[in-house]
């Protein structure tokens, strides 16, 4: 069993920020484990979701924000749907990723890189350019073997466009990102 010195390690500000940003009362969690039981990703997590909730209650900011689990949650909403205390657990996981980003933490870096590549594509074209996103991800991670086997399956289907679908309002979409970045830095 893990022992935590709450007198020394409790970060009350962290608990308060998680609650404020998620709009959830994390103290309602009584550790029934329903979220972990239904979570399809428990096998891949380093810390099961119910334990993430407990660590948040205990103000363990560093442990939580350094976990792999927060980057492997797919927001499938199983936890939120089944929580007997109506805690939006998936929203808490989302907010923890937001906080980890701000701290410069990403324990599963390729997941963050994939999501960033996706958003870069939206910012550039207004819509996702599927092939460009994949190439961008591969270039940024150096994982050149990614899905090479799928090329011969999908290219003959004529579905993947070789150039982006630029929309007329792509500058508008780019401005959403620019204003967001400005607001975040102010």
Q: Which residues bind other proteins (CB under 8 A)?
A: 40-41, 43-44, 72, 74-78, 80-81, 88, 90, 94, 97-98, 101, 108, 110-111, 113-116, 118-119, 122, 126-128, 130-131, 134, 137, 146-147, 149-150, 153-154, 157-161, 165, 167-170, 172-173, 175-177, 179-180, 183-184
Helix (H), strand (E) at residue 58: none
If the CB atoms of residues 9 and 28 are measured against other proteins, the closer one turns out to be 28
Could you tell me the smallest distance in angstroms from the CB atom of residue 17 to other proteins?
14
Could you tell me the smallest distance in angstroms from the CB atom of residue 98 to other proteins?
6
If the CB atoms of residues 5 and 149 are measured against other proteins, the closer one turns out to be 149
The DSSP line for 73-139 is -----HHHHH-TT---HHHHHHHHHHHHHHTT--SSHHHHHHHHHHHHHHHHHSS--HHHHHHHHHH
Could you tell me the smallest distance in angstroms from the CB atom of residue 30 to other proteins?
20
If the CB atoms of residues 6 and 149 are measured against other proteins, the closer one turns out to be 149
If the CB atoms of residues 26 and 122 are measured against other proteins, the closer one turns out to be 122
Question: With left for phi above 0 and alpha for psi between -120 and 50, is residue 75 left, alpha or beta?
Answer: left
In this structure, the number of other CB atoms found within 10 A of the CB of residue 29 comes to: 21
Question: 113, 141 in Cβ contact below 8 A?
Answer: yes
Q: How far apart are CA 148 and CA 57, in angstroms?
A: 43
If the CB atoms of residues 4 and 123 are measured against other proteins, the closer one turns out to be 123
């Amino acid at each position: 069993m893990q022992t935590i010195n709450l007198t020394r390690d409790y970060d009350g500000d962290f608990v308060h920020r998680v609650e404020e940003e998620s709009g959830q009362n994390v103290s309602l969690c009584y550790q029934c484990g329903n979220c972990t039981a239904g979570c399809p990703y428990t096998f891949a997590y380093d810390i099961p979701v119910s334990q993430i909730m407990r660590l948040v209650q205990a103000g363990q900011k560093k442990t939580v924000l350094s976990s792999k689990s927060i980057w492997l949650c797919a927001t499938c909403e199983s936890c939120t749907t089944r929580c007997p205390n109506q805690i939006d657990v998936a929203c808490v996981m989302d907010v923890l990723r937001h906080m980890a980003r701000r701290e410069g933490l990403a324990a599963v870096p390729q997941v963050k890189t994939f999501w960033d590549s996706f958003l870069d594509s939206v910012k550039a074209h207004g819509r996702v350019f599927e092939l460009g996103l994949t190439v961008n991800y591969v270039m940024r991670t150096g994982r050149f073997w990614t899905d090479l086997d799928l090329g011969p399956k999908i290219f003959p289907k004529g579905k993947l466009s070789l150039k982006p679908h630029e929309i007329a309002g792509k500058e508008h979409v780019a401005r959403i990102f620019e204003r967001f970045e400005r607001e975040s830095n102010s």
